[in-house]
Structure 1
């Protein structure tokens, strides 16, 4: 069916249409030369049919599948038989074969409302790019809350097709998906290389995401839909994921030259490594010829669960779970001998009976082994068995912490050098993670780290302390263990945890980390006792209080304490009932909750009253709870395990500004030594002395000094001019004044607020008076993306 419209409407019959049918038809004819006109009209009908019964993100997912896989149509051949065909919507390989158009001030009508969009980018007549602009004196956030949210409600059909949304005031710019809340709109600072100096500007955003090749790459290979939270969420790769995955893809293309050593992919914890694995594996399948199999290897059950659930939730696992997850060593051998797209396993399943050699399982060259936390346990006998089983496989190591400067050279011999780096500083500056701060509480209870030798640290670090390790810890390190588990010490810590939790300025969930399972249960019991004691004190204050405002505040605190839930989360063990009973503890009610209580879902739900959990090893890796803001740490840790644990608190969540580590054991006493892994050779601007965690006491001291200098400066400039001149002359004859430089140092390096990097540039942005001219359009092919989008924005940017 032919549809035509006047030139002023870009071929649309009505303003409610958001697809430019003539351009879509022309593109489909060009991209599908062997298909009939009837088949193409079927595809157009399927792409443009109404989807108002779906939410914008549900409709977006449905149409995205048509974009990526093709539109299924049915035609009749010469033998009068029905034939199913796929109509291709885009030419993914040759971007210039597609039709690009930018339209400014496009009027769109919804079912009840009319709106005018600032800028819409069409590809083959489909509205893939939506831009909302504000003047430079307005906040970018206003574009989200004041405009975008309204548009998704009033003209939802525009977002059925959307690939990316760009919000900007000319100085700051953010990009996000149709389902993203404001805190998940992010900056795009680099265009084509990790080595570039990051720049916050509209120009960088446009060049990095709206160049035709990059836009189609993002749409095809860096877009996912997840239903892990029970509702559909659209995910587009962040800048560091896009650059890092493309680096790794280049390594796959050079697989012969690098002999299968694809590199080490170091992206700091909380920056989306699991999703990067998905982006990487899916792009390899679509872009590089081969019957690829990806073997995802971890060394801990919780990590294996987390990564599998990530892959499954975004729909890239096409087989049943029992067909892709190794249940035993023998099952793993069966999986590796067969032909599966993706296999998940623990490295411990690459075991061989004593005195036996592990067998070779596959000579295939199109197997890529992806190891998570590549530095930890990949180089002993199990790792050799893995490489014996898959002698021609390629290896890519993912890690959330960098390689140690000493002792991990073997990592490079297996995986090669870094293929991508995204460190903690970059992550914080980009707003991908929040800063971490720590404070030492009740110092008299700290244990001097020097008393703990390498042996006890190693025992504690070993994969979660099983029964034998716990007994060895108690037996061989009796003195140290007694210091940790002394009843008076635990009592004081429990009391302090309650006081600290209730006095926090920032709400959020909390995790208490103890040395072992027994101590975790004891700490739960003690915190419960002090919790209700604290609550009774509040009730007494409420009874005596006469001020209505204070009474209201006390009533809210009491209500919060009444509804707050707590739980113990520890692994199961043989004879645990009897073992706990001997210590005067009852594990049964806790185990019942762990097995039947749905604790994981409750703790991940920010609205659920389960607010404090007590752990010793579980949930400390591979477990994301964005609302977790405080970790109470009473367990010796070091190096990678320490970094992985504290990173549980660095996730972005609503108005959360930071994560807090409360240290009762003194693990940060020698932080600089433990973090020697963050040397200047790590790249990304890391300097000697930089750490992912900053001491609150030091920051307060710097703030106090800066405020004192500022007050002194203000006092001086308000003095009479004669006095100022005298002071100035006196100062110049002695030492130079340093007030402003000291303040600058604090704001640049030590402030908890993450600001704009000092080297960022700004794109000039003008706002002419409003005009009533019809929508303007310009061919995307006739000029660069930057000049196109910027010109359109400058011509008709709204106030």
Structure 2
């Protein structure tokens, strides 16, 4: 049964929906003419000669918006063409799109802002959408499905895929990744992309193709393409992305680009509206940790500062950590804000406020101590307070409110508001003007559902290592002053008085026992997954002891200690002090999979604000509760994905993991003073994963295990090939298996798994057979995770699995060999297709074999879709082999190589005269340009010579174009077989 193409099912509908929301559709032919299409230029050069803009429209809008800009678009386009084709050039273009470029006004002898888009009066802009946006840079060609333009400038591209394709969205993103690699010129101006199959709708920004930064556009009408286009592609939404919600930031000395997600933009809009509300002066934004709260605060500050209604305001960004303060200043500076001050002291902050400074001030919360009352009484003072739950107690809040009596106070918190007196105070201070107690919320459950953060699972250490219940309860959990504890310093003061508790935790024999357990657990459970870990000691002395103990069980380079140093420290503590440069290097190295250390031993530093997605496990040996506990364990909930070649996923972090050596999680309701719904969303017992694994192995696995009746002989393989011929059935199996595999990876090694090992190994072997049979060479993810891979090696060896993957050599004997080979025809079809693909890959300079491999893949697709029978598919492939043998014979008779013969046959098929002579000329042209694959100049000259060699024999431009395009298209695809 024929399947609908991606244009019919997706592309045409997107264009229709875009027109309905006021984008003007420009047909492809008209778009090409407006880009400088010249019908007299050979087709091989047309895409290369096209402009990347609608030049005439851009010229007209620049003249309209900038009447004093004498040079107009001619000079502007020349300037644009010299912008770097990388993320730095893209950042420069964003500045242009935000009207922060300049031009020189000769009449007034001064610089003026260059306006490209009218954000104040959006109706003054021209909004257009077109399709099949083609470009060729002389080496690679790209054709984008749907492109949206504002004033002739492409800003958004949509890649459309057919929903019937496996992993359609992932393939669409991979295609956009390839566009970046091969034609980066397109992504100087293009800022946003989406990939859709009419069901899913993933979006991101150009120059950031990391999977964790590609998001699903959320809409109440789940699965409805029209609703998602109406939301994401709405003109006000696209303008908002361009003007406000694309950000650049440096991390580890590298430039990164991000787009704010819906919960972030929603919070920015809500906080700006509240700040400009004359009637209300309070608001609380509760966004779970790891959901981008820092960028939300930065964009709120920028929006308020630039708002006309704010009338030159003072915006205070109140930070609670030195390291975050430094990062905040860097990110704000990257926004190009000229009026930015760092109040690094109490005196400096007082002076700025007293002198009525207008702009953004970055400072720390404790700088408000002893501030005079009424130091600034303006109402357009906006105070944005990070981790707001820490400012409501003691005198800091009083000094803050008294010093700025008419200011608007906007609190931001990353942890749920607790039910203690501190939590009620937070609601009272910041949430008093909202019925729900907060202005905007993004819960832990929402964050996990969106993939912004990962679920957390915990496991208790063996009983003999846990703190005795009565000691933990008496000296920590039952203390009134420990309720709602908000920061590490406050926690440390409480623990200083817990003498028995600390003595137990730091006992030398116990330290040795825990260190050995940690080392073995890390080696067996965490290191095979590829991730890293924290060991959290109760204090600095405990950290030092753990370092010496761990070094007995692990190589010394595996671990490093990071804690705050003091001049009064003992010799043992000073021996582990780090200078700032060394500490920065350790932090940076820890964030990389392939570098040491693998375990950081910490007690206060890095437990808040440190973001290392490779961190998977936390060995918790410090009593913590409420906000401090949440902030600490949130270090391990950051998503991480490692990509291999061609965007394939090699690693996907499943969740965060906490191994509790204290016993805190045994008293979870007491340790976390939050609503039960929030607690349930925060952490779950690892035992639940065991229950889930057992359930899947007992209910889902038997359906697949029943397919193996003969201990995996060739007939079992034939059964698998036929059973999973249906793509939907395969897709369901792959999904089920990957879920089971991930559970196994997390739980293993564990005695619980012993009864399931044989069945799991068989299931993995089934997956291996089906995967090898039906997936292309470029896969969306790798076959097996590490622990499973070791098991499968043994299991497959015991079964002697064969059949799929037994490739045959492509030669004169292939046909007879295939006919006489044991096994079913379905297996023969699969093996023959893969053999042809491999042969073409090994002879990638032969266009005939590349085309033959593509025809073989089409046969396999028809076979999978049951458009042809198994016998018909095998017959078609055998005929391909016969044709290839006939081709080889004729080619040998003429002493042609593969390239020359392919050109010769193409010329004959299109009835072009003197085919043999012309094909020899073309062969010589290739020989004269040996560097054509790596040199754009050589490729352009080669295409020109090939085109004119054929053109000399015919005036039929279409026929010439067809031959040249097919030849170079096949050769280009050879690199991606």
Q: Give the shorter-chain TM-score range.
A: 0.7 to 0.9
Q: Give the secondary structure class of the aligned counterpart of 1:91.
A: coil
Note closer, same or farther for the CA distance 1:667–1:24 as it changes in structure 2 (3 Å cut). same
Corresponding residue SS for 2:263: helix
SS of the residue corresponding to residue 147 of structure 2 reads: strand
Give the 3-state SS of the residue equivalent to 1:670 in structure 2. Answer: helix
Match of 1:566 among 559, 569, 573: 559
Structure 1 residues 204 and 526: CA distance shift in structure 2, 3 A: farther
Kindly indicate whether the alpha-carbon contact (under 8 Å) linking 1:311 and 1:317 is maintained by their aligned counterparts in 2: yes
Per the TM alignment, residue 82 of structure 1 is displaced from its structure 2 partner at its CA by 3.4
Once the two structures are TM-superposed, the CA of residue 92 in structure 1 deviates from its matched residue by 0.8
Partner residue in 2 for 1:40:
72
Question: Which of the numbers 619, 623, 628 marks the counterpart of 1:641?
Answer: 628
CA distance in 1, matches of 2:318, 2:507: 39
Distance in 1 (alpha carbons) for counterparts of 2:530 and 2:77? 50
Q: How much has 1:41 moved relative to structure 2?
A: 3.2
Distance 1:414 1:316, change over 3 A: farther
Aligned to 1:444: 464
Which of residues 335, 338, 342 in structure 1 aligns to 2:360? 342
Distance 2:701 2:182 in 1: 51
Equivalent residues in 2 for 1:297-376, closer than 5 Å:
297-312=318-333, 314-316=334-336, 318=338, 323-327=341-345, 329-338=346-355, 339=357, 341-352=359-370, 358-376=372-390
Q: Deviations over 1:253-297 (max 9, x none)?
A: 31x211x11x11111111100011111111222334321222122
Q: Distance in 2 between matches of 1:152 and 1:176?
A: 13
Residue 504 of structure 2: aligned partner = 483
Counterpart selection for 2:653 from 651, 656, 662: 656
Compare the two structures and name the one with the higher helix fraction. 2
SS at 1:161's partner residue? coil
CA contact (8 A) 2:530 2:593 kept: no
Deviates more, 1:513-522 or 1:368-377: 368-377
Name the larger-Rg structure: 2
Residues 697-750 of structure 1 deviation map (CA, whole Å, 9 limit, x = unaligned): 1221243145334568899999xxxxxxxxxxxxxxxxxxxxxxxx99xx99x9
Match for residue 157 of structure 1? 185
State which drifts further: 609-618 or 39-48: 39-48
**1:725-744 correspondence to structure 2 within 5 Å:** none
Give CA deviations for 1:593-640 in whole Å, capped at 9, x if unaligned.
Answer: 776663333333444322211111111111111221111111111111
Residue 340 to residue 623, structure 1, CA distance change in 2 (3 Å): farther
Partner of 2:149: 122
Residue of structure 1 equivalent to 2:284: 264
* 1:458 to 2:482 alignment: yes
Q: Residue 236 in 1 paired to residue 259 in 2?
A: yes
- Once residues 455 and 493 of structure 2 are traced to their aligned partners in structure 1, the CA distance between those partners, rounded to angstroms, is 37
The corresponding residue for 1:23 is 57
TM-score, normalised relative to structure 1: 0.76
- After superposition, the Cα gap between the structure-2 partners of 1:140 and 1:678, relative to the gap in structure 1 and judged at 3 Å, is farther
1:794 equivalent in structure 2: none
1:50 to 67, 70, 82: 82
Cα deviation for residue 306 of structure 1 reads 4.6
User: Structure 1 residue 200: deviation in Å?
Assistant: 5.2
**CA distance in 2: counterparts of 1:645 and 1:204, whole angstroms:** 39
Assess if the C-alpha contact under 8 Å between 2:664 and 2:671 holds in 1. no
State the 1:212 CA deviation: 0.4
- The separation in 2 between residues aligned to 1:608 and 1:459, in whole angstroms, is 39
Given that 1:351 and 1:358 are in contact with CA atoms closer than 8 Å, whether structure 2 keeps it comes out as: no
What is the SS of the residue equivalent to 1:572?
Answer: coil
1:204, CA displacement in angstroms? 4.3
Q: Residues 12-31 of structure 1, C-alpha deviation per residue, up to 9 Å, x if partnerless?
A: 22534111112212323443
How far does the alpha carbon of each residue in 1:535-593 deviate from its partner, in whole angstroms, 9 at most, with x for none?
xxxxxxxxxxxxxxxxxxxxxxxxxxx8x4421111122411xxx34xxx242343347
CA deviation vs aligned residue, 1:87-143 (integer Å, no higher than 9, x gap)? 311111232321111111122111322221111111110000111122112324543
Q: Structure 1 residues 706, 148: CA separation in 2 closer, same or farther (over 3 Å shift)?
A: closer
Aligned runs of 1:478-627 on 2, under 5 Å? Answer: 478-503=499-524, 504=526, 505-532=528-555, 564-576=557-569, 580-581=570-571, 585-592=572-579, 598-627=585-614
Tell me, which stretches of 5 or more residues in structure 1 are unaligned?
A: 192-196, 533-561, 680-686, 719-742, 754-799
Task: Quote the Cα distance in structure 2 between the aligned partners of 1:175 and 1:462.
Answer: 36
Q: Would the alpha carbon gap of residues 337 and 243 (structure 1) be closer, same or farther in structure 2, given more than 3 Å must change?
A: same
Contact 2:558 2:596 in 1 (8 A): yes
Indicate which of 182, 205, 223 corresponds to 2:210.
182
Shift of 1:481: 1.7
| Relative contact order, higher structure (CA 8 A, sep 6+) | 1
> What is the rounded CA distance, in whole Å, between the counterparts of 2:300 and 2:185 in structure 1?
31
1:412 is matched with 427
Q: Tell me if the contact between 2:305 and 2:360 (Cα under 8 Å) persists in the aligned partners.
A: no
> Over the residues paired in the alignment, what is the CA RMSD in angstroms?
3.3
CA change 1:472–1:666 in 2 (3 A) is: closer
1:551 matched residue in structure 2: none
Q: Secondary structure at the match of 1:668?
A: helix
Displacement, 1:406?
4.2
Structure 2 matches for 1:63-142, cutoff 5 A?
63-77=93-107, 82-136=109-163, 137-142=165-170
TM-score, with normalisation over the residues of structure 2? 0.62
Q: Per-residue deviation at 1:318? A: 4.1
Is 1:677 aligned to residue 677 of structure 2?
no
The match for 1:699 is 689
Q: State the SS of the aligned residue for 1:529.
A: coil
58-67 vs 178-187, which moves further: 178-187
**TM-aligned CA deviation for residue 62 of structure 1:** 1.0
Aligned-partner Cα distance in 2 for 1:404–1:471: 21
For residue 181 of structure 2, give the secondary structure of its aligned residue in structure 1.
helix
Cα gap change, 1:459 to 1:514, in 2 (>3 Å): farther
Please report how far the alpha carbon of residue 70 of structure 1 lies from its aligned counterpart in structure 2 after TM superposition. 4.1
Using the TM superposition, give the Cα deviation of residue 238 of structure 1 relative to its aligned residue in structure 2, in angstroms: 1.1
> What is the alpha-carbon distance in structure 2 between the residues aligned to residue 189 and residue 198 of structure 1?
11
Per the TM alignment, residue 216 of structure 1 is displaced from its structure 2 partner at its CA by 0.2
CA distance, structure 2, for counterparts of residue 267 and residue 299 of structure 1? 16
CA distance in 2, matches of 1:646, 1:451: 24
Secondary structure of the 2:388 match is coil
> How far, CA to CA, are the matches of 2:494 and 2:428 in structure 1?
34
Structure 1 residues 437 and 238, CA gap change in structure 2 (3 angstroms): same
What is the CA-CA distance between 1:696 and the residue it aligns to? Answer: 1.1
Number of residue-to-residue matches in the alignment: 655
CA distance in 2, matches of 1:452, 1:233: 46
1:759 is aligned to none
